[in-house]
Amino acid sequence: MRPLLLLLLATAHGLDTLDYTPTLANDESLGGRLTGSTFVLEQPRCVFEMDNTSDIWLVVATREGREHFNDSAQPGMPEWSFHRFLTNSSSYLTLGAMLYHYPCPKPSGELTVLRVGSETSCIDDTSVPNCNGPLPNPGPYWVKFLALNASGPIATTQWFGPIELKKAQPIPSSSGAGVVRSGAMIAITAILSVLLAVLLAALLATLCSSEACGVGSFRPDAASIRRYNTHHVYDQPAARL
């Protein structure tokens, strides 16, 4: 019932609902089309046919916020601020631009996109209600464009969504990390054990090649040959000479 009432209210104010739906940027060379807190849309070129003094605003909403969004919303109103959105997760207005910022046709070779959620300087600054701050969670989100002039909203596009942002990858559990560490420690221990055994063998070989192991000081021929002098040899005078 509420969406129907909002539609009737918009019709009563002469709001024109355009046959246009926002789209995500389709340039394959564009990096970060979807991140953990931002997404990139194509600019609404050749969509609005009105005077260049009109403002074009982007409406960002959650599922519930989309159902309760009032097309008579005005930029700068507290209920449609980015900071209120962080607490009530409904909808907010951001990226306001004049119609002449979206010239038609699109200039050749020009990158015509809008990055939603790219400003960080105004996250805590409530004096900037239309802050284009980072989105607080993966969503999903819905978006549409709303055109306003001095008398209020005059045209709106269709809603586009759901847009789901990238989610952070879970950190490996401690048990899995322990298994990896255990395997690595076993391999390192085995390698060190082999190297230690090789060094010990080399050390023993070095020591046993010296006199410490008796090698070189023990000569079988010297030990087995003995000199005997009989006692009667020294009794002879010639032997004493």
Which DSSP state fits 129? T
Percent of the chain with pLDDT over 90: 42
- Collapsing DSSP to helix, strand or coil, 232 comes out as coil
Contact of 131 with 122, CB cutoff 8 Å: yes
pLDDT digits (tens, 9 = 90+) for 123-172: 999 999 999 999 999 999 999 999 998 888 999 999 999 999 998 776 65
pLDDT band for position 212 (cuts 50, 70, 90): low
* 110-131 mean pLDDT: 92
Confidence of residue 72 (pLDDT cuts 50, 70, 90): confident
**Does 13 score more than 70 pLDDT?**
no
Closest by CA to 126, choosing from 94, 90, 75, 81, is 81
Please give the model's pTM, rounded to 2 decimal places.
Answer: 0.65
163-198, pLDDT tens digit by residue?
A: 999 987 766 555 554 555 567 788 888 888 888 888
pLDDT in tens, 48-67: 887 777 899 999 999 999 99
Q: Sign of torsion, CA 7 78 126 87?
A: negative
